Each structure stands twice: as structure tokens, then as C-alpha cells.
Structure 1
Amino acid sequence: MRIWFLTPTFPPVHGGSETQIYTLAAGLVRRGHQVDVLTERYPDTAEREELLGVRVHRVRTDATRWSEPDRVPWEERAFGLLGDAERVIGSGGVDILQTFCQVGALLGAMMRDGVGCPLVVTMNETTPDTDPFGASRSRLVFGQLPYDAMVVGSRAYREQAIGYGAAPGRVHLARYGIEAGLYGGADEREIQHARSWLGVVPDDPLVLLVGRYKERKGQRELVRAMAGIVARHPRARAALVGSLNSASAMYQRQLEDDIDALGLREHVLLRGSDRAFGAMRALYGAADVVVQPSHAEGLGLSAIEAVAAGRPLVAASVSGLSEVLECCPGTVPVPPRDPAALAAAVCALLDDPERAAADARRAEEAARREFTAESMVDGYLKVYERLRAASGRTAGETACVETVSP
């Protein structure tokens, strides 16, 4: 099959959704399919490149043309990407059009009949209702757009989709998975290099949180918990590793203010996520405990990565993360928005490293069984092949299909 992905962000941008999309694309290529990705072009990225056999086409939003006399700025903002899509993708010869967010689904719905193939949508927005007109936009996207199937990565995403009006028969669960080999097995040299990059000396207990700098990730709870952790383990350090892409610079400044107010400047380190894709295993390997105190998650890929790397995990028992906690015995649940409970759980693991390591090994075995890239690829392919069979097409043929129900 020839499959086109539409996504506003893609590696080298870091984040759970970017990792999931790249892992899926590479897995489809390994199965013999052609995958092209249309995405935003950032500085220092090529207009076209190939990553693990995935062909990536990058276009740059040209805001300067909005003010040109022959342009209507509103139309350019809303529909300008259609011109790029038509130029890069063209029409015909596409078997599946796949999108990964609400704006992608809107773009794909406008393109669907013109490209002449089924549209499959996946939504990676965890709390879309917090955006302007988020609830009404979600009801439109989930309940009214002419997509042919929706694939979701967790039970939480399935509940969200149906809650906003998606027909249950068109929602297919393909749990997000990871390439476990990318996360475990870091050697001592890699680990010490990671600790040096973070600014942590070899013997300091290290608590790691990976996630974009945004309120729902719960970084402020970890900063506040560190006051209690340091009282018991004076050499403990916390490293917060994340990006500001699709995040909040104001929230990052609030974290800085909290760190200063609590006198934790030497104990809490903020770092950007400018590591090479696939290099996260050294960061996880360097950690004594990984925490994910999010207020909400669709699933929590960084939590799965940490467990697959053999690290003890403390995570908030919220929708999405609860699925990881349930599937991986040996992980530690804590109530959300509770710095005291988070501190107590981390200290318990630091107090008894042998027990923490044994529980982490148990959880690692489960994660490597329950959250695999191959299972995720299988789930998407079942949907793609069913849609293609329903249209009576063979690979590369061009024909439009009507919306189908399983």
C-alpha cells in the first residue's frame, strides 16, 4: 500500500505523539508498505529526507504571503496548507490517507474525495476541551467529519472519541507501542554521559520526568515534592526534560519561580529535549526513579518507555496512565496533584533500591509484552486492509470509498 501521513509535527520535534507516529511509519515500511509524511518544515531540516525508509516531505508555513494584495488572510490561515498538500501529494495513487490530530483530520476531510482514498484518523489531543471552542470543535471532528475509520491508542482515547460523538463501530483500538530495544540496555559510558549532560554527578540519586512543559504534565508537583525528597535524601536531584513545542513558556517560568522560592536551585534541573531520536535510553538508564505525575494523559508513552528501560516508575492514577499501571505490575500509583504522596513514593523507592529494582524488572517484562510496536502496526494494518478490501481496490489503484462500518 501507499500511505500518506499528515501531521503538523514529526521528528526531530520530540514528544509522545511524534514518537508514536514515527514508530508506526517505520513499522509499516518494514512490512513492505510505502509511507510518505507531510509535515511542517523547521529550521535546520531538509525539505525532503528519508528516515528509516520513511519519506518525509516538509513544507514551511509562509505567513508573509498573507499580506500580499491578491491574498485573503483568513483564507490563507485556514486553507493555505491545501495548496501544499495538492502540490506534494497530488491526486490518485494513494491507498490510505492517515492523520493524527484534529487539525490534520480537518485537512484530511477536505482532501479525502480529491485524493480518492479512505481517510483514517487518530487523535492525540489529551484535553481538547481546554482549547478555544474545544468542545464544539471536538464534536464536529469526532462526530461529523467524513472519515472512514478512527484508530485510537488507548481505552482513554476510545472513551474520549465516543464521548464526543464518534460511532463506536468506527473506533478501533490499536494500543500505542514502542520499540523496546531503543530504551533498555544503556551501558555505563552512555549513562555517565547522560548524567554529565543533565548536570548530575555519578552517585547522586536522580529522579527523572520527561514531558513537554505544560501544566497537565505535573512538573510543578514534582518541584514541590522535591522539598520533601531532599529532606530525606539531601543529595537527590530531579531532572525535568522537555520541550516548549506545543507547550507553555509561561509555565516553564512558573517552574523556575517555584524552584527559587523553595530554595531548590541545586536540586531541580530543567533541560530541553534536544537529544537525538532513539537516544533516550541513556537518560532513562541514568535515572534511579522516573515519575509521571500528570493530571491527564491519553496513555503516557514516556511512562512506557521508562518501564521498558527497566526503571522504577511512579505515576499518577489518572485516565490513560492507569492503563500503563494496570498492565505493568511493579509500578507505583499515586493520587494526582499530590506532591506529598509523590515525595513519599519516591523516597520509598530510594530507601530500598533492591526492592525497587526487582519491581522494575517485573514491570519491564510486562511492558515489553503489552506495548509493542509490532502489535500497534498490526492494529493499523487490519483497519487499512479492511478499508481497501471494502473498496475493491488493489495497491496503487485510485477509487473513492464510502464510509464503512465494521
Structure 2
Amino acid sequence: MRIWFLTPTFPPVHGGSETQIYTLAAGLVRRGHQVDVLTERYAQTEAQEEMLGVRVHRVRTDAARWSEPDRVPWEERLFGLLGDAERVIGSSGVDILQTFCQVGAVLGAMMRGGLDCPLVVTMNETTPDVDPFGASRSRLVFGQLPYDAMVVGSRAYHDQAIGYGAAPDHVHLVRYGIEAGLYGGAHEREIQDARSWLGVEPDDPLVLLVGRYKERKGQRELVRAMADIVARHPRARAVLVGSLNSASATYLRWLEDDIDALGLRGHVLLRGSDRPFGAMRAIYGAADVVVQPSHAEGLCLSAIEAVAAGRPLVAASVSGLSEVLECCPGTVPVPPHDPTALADAVCALLDAPERAAADARRAQEAGRREFAAEAMVDGYLKVYERLRAAPARTTQGTARTGRVSP
């Protein structure tokens, strides 16, 4: 099959959705399919490149052209990408068009008829209702757009899709998967290099949180918990690794203010996510405990990555993350919005490193089985192949007859 992915962000941008999309694309290529990705062009990236056999086409959103006299700025903002898509995809045959977010689904719905191919959508927005007109936009995207199938990566995303009006027989649950080999088995030299980059001494207890700098990730709870953790483990350090892509510079300033107000400068360190794509296994390997105190998650790939790396995991028992905790016995659940409970759980692991390591190995075995990349690729391929085999394409939205069975 020739499969086109539409996604606004793609590696080298770091994040859970970017990792999932890249892992899926590379897995499909390994199965003998052709995958092309249409995405944004960032500084220091090429207009075209190949990554593990995946052909990446990057276009730059040029705001300067919006003010040109022959342009209508509203039209450029809403429809400008259609010209890029037509130019890049051209008249080549497309077997499957796949998108990974709400804006991608809208773009794909506009292209679907012209390309005469099935449209498969996946949504990675965890809390779309908090955006302007987010609830009404979600009802339109989930319930009315003419897509042929929706693939969701967790029970939380499944419930979200049904809640916003997706037809249940169009929704297919395929858990997100990771390449476990990318996260375990870091060498000691790699780990020490990672600790050096993080700014942590070799023997300092290290608490790690990986995630975009946004409020729902719960980084402020970790900062507040560190006041208690440092009182019991004076050499403990917490490092937050994340980006501002689809995040909040204001929230990052709040974190810095919290660190200063609590006198934790030197104990809580903030780092960007500008490391090479394969560097995360050493960063996870450097951690004594990984925490994910999120307020909400669709699933949370960083938690799965930590488990795959064999690191003790403490995570909030919220929708999405709870699925990871349930699938991986040996992980530690804590209530959300509770710095005291978070501190107690982290200190318990630091106080008993041998028991923590044994539990982490148990969770690792389950996590690598439950969240395998090959199982994810299998699930998507079953949806794609069923759509291609259908005698006539059927859609979610207004055309509700003859649906493809899940």
C-alpha cells in the first residue's frame, strides 16, 4: 500500500504523539508498505528526507504571504495547506490517508474526495474541550467529518471519541506501542554522559519527569513534592525534560518561580528536549525514579517508555495513565494533585532500591508485552486492509449506511 500521513509535528520535534507516529510509519515500512509524511518544516530540517525508509516531505507555513495583496489572510490560515498538499502528493495514487490530530482530520476530510481514498483518523488531543470552542469543534470533528475509520490508542481515547459523537462501529482500539529496544540497556558511559547533560552528579538520587511544559502534566506537583523529598534525601535532584512545542511559556515561568520560592534552585533542574531521537534510553537509564503526576492523559507514552527502560514508575491514577498502571504491575499509583503522596511514593522507592528494581523489572516485562510496536502496526494494518477490501467506501458523519464492521 501507499500510505500518506498528515501531521503538523514530526521528529525532530519530541513528544509522545511524534514518537507514536514515527514508530508506526517505520513499522509499516518494515512490512513492505510505502509511507510518506507531510508535515511542517522547521529550521535546520530539509524539505525532503528519508528516515528509516519513511519519506518525509516538509512544508513551511509562511505567515508573511498572508499580507500579500493577492491573498486573503483568513483563507490562507484555513486552507493554505491544501495547495502544499496538492503540490506534494500530486496525482500519485494513495491507498490510505492517515491523520493524527483534529486539524489533520479536517485537512484530510477536505482532501479525501479529491484523492479518492479511505481516510483514517487518529486523535491525540487529551483535553480538546479546554481550547476555544473546543467542545463544539470536537463534536464536529468526531461526529460529522466524513472519515472512514478512527483508530484510538487507549480506552480513554475510545471514550472520548464516543462521547463526542463518533459512531461506535467506526472506532477501532489499537493501543499505542513503542520499540522497546530504544529504551532499555543503556551502557554505563551513556548513562554518565546523560547525567552530565542533565546536570546531576553520578551518585545523586535522580527523579525524572519527561513531558511538555503544560499544566496538565503536573510538573508543579513534582516541584512542590521535592521540598519534602529533599528534606529526607538531601542530595536528591529532580530533572524535568520537556519542550514548549504545543505547550506554555507562561507555565514554564511559573515552574521557575516555584523553584525559587521553595529554595530548590540546584535541586530541581529544567531541561529542553533537544537531544537526538535515540538519546532517551540513556536519560531514562540515568533515573532512579521516573514520575508522571499528570492531571489527564490519553495514555502517556513517556510512562510506557520509562517502564520499557526498566525504571521504577510513580504515576497519577488518572484516565489514560491508569491503563498503563493496570497493565504493568510493579508501577506505583498516586492520587493526582497530591504532592505529599507523590513525595512519599518517591521516597519509599529511594529508601528500598533493591525492591524498587525488582518491581521495575516485573513492570518492564508486562509493558513490553502490552505495548509492543509490532502489535500496534498489526492493528492499523487490519483497519487499512479491511477498508481496501470493502466493496464501497463508507464514512462516519452524514453517510451512515453500510459501515465497515470493527
TM-superposed deviation, 1:390: 0.5
Equivalent residue for 2:226?
226
Equivalent residue for 2:102?
102
- Partner secondary structure for residue 209 of structure 2: strand
Question: Are residues 1:121 and 2:121 paired?
Answer: yes
Residue deviations 1:327-382, cap 9 Å, x none?
A: 00000000000000000000000000010001001000000110000000000000
Residue deviations 1:272-322, cap 9 Å, x none?
A: 001111210000000000000000000010000001100000000000000
TM-superposed deviation, 1:64: 1.0
Equivalent residue for 2:404?
405
TM-superposed deviation, 1:133: 0.2
Distance 1:74 1:106 in 2: 16
Distance 1:136 1:335 in 2: 30
Equivalent residue for 2:259?
259
Question: Would the aligned equivalents of 1:37 and 1:57 in 2 still touch at CA under 8 Å?
Answer: yes
Distance 2:234 2:63 in 1: 51
Gaps of 5+ in 1: 393-400
Equivalent residue for 1:340?
340
Question: Would the aligned equivalents of 1:295 and 1:336 in 2 still touch at CA under 8 Å?
Answer: yes
TM-superposed deviation, 1:98: 0.1
Give the RMSD, CA atoms, in angstroms: 0.7
Question: Would the aligned equivalents of 1:327 and 1:370 in 2 still touch at CA under 8 Å?
Answer: yes
TM-superposed deviation, 1:12: 0.1
Residues 160-309 of structure 1 aligned to structure 2 (within 5 Å): 160-309=160-309
Question: Would the aligned equivalents of 1:91 and 1:114 in 2 still touch at CA under 8 Å?
Answer: no
TM-superposed deviation, 1:254: 0.2
Distance 1:64 1:302 in 2: 36
Distance 2:161 2:404 in 1: 16
Size of the aligned set, in residue pairs, is: 398
Question: Would the aligned equivalents of 1:28 and 1:34 in 2 still touch at CA under 8 Å?
Answer: yes
Question: Would the aligned equivalents of 1:313 and 1:331 in 2 still touch at CA under 8 Å?
Answer: yes
Q: Please tell me the residue identity of whatever aligns with 2:261.
A: A
Runs of 4+ with >6 A deviation = none
Q: Please tell me the residue identity of whatever aligns with 1:3.
A: I
Equivalent residue for 1:18?
18
Distance 2:42 2:11 in 1: 10
TM-superposed deviation, 1:402: 3.2
Equivalent residue for 1:139?
139
Question: Would the aligned equivalents of 1:307 and 1:367 in 2 still touch at CA under 8 Å?
Answer: yes
Distance 2:283 2:235 in 1: 19
Distance 2:277 2:391 in 1: 37
Q: TM-score, normalised by structure 2?
A: 0.97
Equivalent residue for 1:51?
51
TM-superposed deviation, 1:92: 4.6
Residue deviations 1:44-72, cap 9 Å, x none?
A: 00000000000000000111111111111
Distance 2:64 2:315 in 1: 44
Question: Would the aligned equivalents of 1:90 and 1:115 in 2 still touch at CA under 8 Å?
Answer: no
- Partner secondary structure for residue 362 of structure 1: helix
TM-superposed deviation, 1:266: 1.1
Equivalent residue for 2:86?
86
- Partner secondary structure for residue 49 of structure 2: strand
Equivalent residue for 1:68?
68
TM-superposed deviation, 1:36: 0.0
Question: Would the aligned equivalents of 1:41 and 1:58 in 2 still touch at CA under 8 Å?
Answer: yes
Residue deviations 1:33-52, cap 9 Å, x none?
A: 00000000000000000000
Question: Would the aligned equivalents of 1:214 and 1:251 in 2 still touch at CA under 8 Å?
Answer: yes
Equivalent residue for 1:351?
351
Residues 309-388 of structure 1 aligned to structure 2 (within 5 Å): 309-388=309-388
Q: Please tell me the residue identity of whatever aligns with 1:165.
A: G
TM-superposed deviation, 1:391: 4.1
Distance 1:347 1:65 in 2: 55
- Partner secondary structure for residue 363 of structure 1: helix
TM-superposed deviation, 1:131: 0.4
Question: Would the aligned equivalents of 1:92 and 1:116 in 2 still touch at CA under 8 Å?
Answer: no
Percentage of matched positions with identical amino acids:
88
Distance 1:293 1:339 in 2: 9
TM-superposed deviation, 1:80: 0.1
Question: Would the aligned equivalents of 1:38 and 1:59 in 2 still touch at CA under 8 Å?
Answer: yes
Q: Please tell me the residue identity of whatever aligns with 1:45.
A: T
Residues 387-398 of structure 1 aligned to structure 2 (within 5 Å): 387-391=387-391
Question: Would the aligned equivalents of 1:98 and 1:119 in 2 still touch at CA under 8 Å?
Answer: yes
Equivalent residue for 1:398?
none
Question: Would the aligned equivalents of 2:241 and 2:270 in 1 still touch at CA under 8 Å?
Answer: yes
Residue deviations 1:170-194, cap 9 Å, x none?
A: 0001100000000000010000000
- Partner secondary structure for residue 319 of structure 2: coil
Q: Please tell me the residue identity of whatever aligns with 2:249.
A: A
Q: Please tell me the residue identity of whatever aligns with 1:228.
A: D
Equivalent residue for 2:37?
37
- Partner secondary structure for residue 315 of structure 1: strand
